[in-house]
Structure 1
Amino acid sequence: MDEAEASGQVWRDEVRARPTTEHDRDALARLVEVDADSFEVELYERAADPQVLSIDRAQRSQAGQYARHVRRLREHQQHQGS
């Protein structure tokens, strides 16, 4: 595995491991309801931004598609090797 491929794998692993933006938005909404701290409001507004939500979904989709692609390649190689 070359450096670029390893870096891509690290990124995909991080995308899949982190909470979704929707999860963050919902947790921040609960905090804002309690005390409306200005920093929490700012974080909530960022997490609720449609563009941020769209980017998060796209990153997760890309990471998942690549993982399925790699899995299919391995399965195909195993079937050819049998």
Structure 2
Amino acid sequence: MDEAEVSGQVWRDEVRVRLMAEQDRDALARLVEVDADPFEVELYERAADPQVLSIDRAQRSRAGQYARHVRRLRERQQRQDS
């Protein structure tokens, strides 16, 4: 694997293991309900931003598409090798 492939794989792995933006938003909403700390409110507003949610969904979608693509290539290669 070259450096670009390794970097891409690291990014995809990170996307898969991190919490979804909606989960972050919901957790921050619960914190804001308790004490409404200004910093927590700022974090919630960022996490609730539609653009942040859209970017998160797009990144997750892209990582999933690539994983399915790689899986299909491996399956195809295994069938050819058999």
Compute the TM-score of the two structures, normalised by the length of structure 1: 1.00
Q: CA deviation at 1:7?
A: 0.3
Alpha-carbon distance between aligned partners in 2 of 1:76 and 1:18, rounded to the nearest angstrom = 30
Alpha-carbon distance between aligned partners in 2 of 1:17 and 1:32, rounded to the nearest angstrom = 25
Identity %: 87
Q: Aligned pair 1:14/2:17, yes or no?
A: no
Partner of 1:52: 52
Q: How many residues end up aligned between the 2 structures?
A: 82
Which amino acid in structure 1 is aligned with residue 42 of structure 2?
Answer: E
Alpha-carbon distance between aligned partners in 2 of 1:69 and 1:26, rounded to the nearest angstrom = 32
Q: Aligned pair 1:28/2:25, yes or no?
A: no
Moved over 2 A (4+): none
Alpha-carbon distance between aligned partners in 2 of 1:4 and 1:33, rounded to the nearest angstrom = 43
Partner of 2:41: 41
What do you get for the CA RMSD once the two structures are aligned? 0.2
Q: CA deviation at 1:69?
A: 0.1
1:14-44 Cα deviation digits (max 9, x unpaired): 0000000000000000000000000000000
Which amino acid in structure 2 is aligned with residue 47 of structure 1?
Answer: A
Alpha-carbon distance between aligned partners in 2 of 1:68 and 1:38, rounded to the nearest angstrom = 42
Unaligned runs of 5+ in 1: none
1:43-75 Cα deviation digits (max 9, x unpaired): 000000000000000000000000000000000
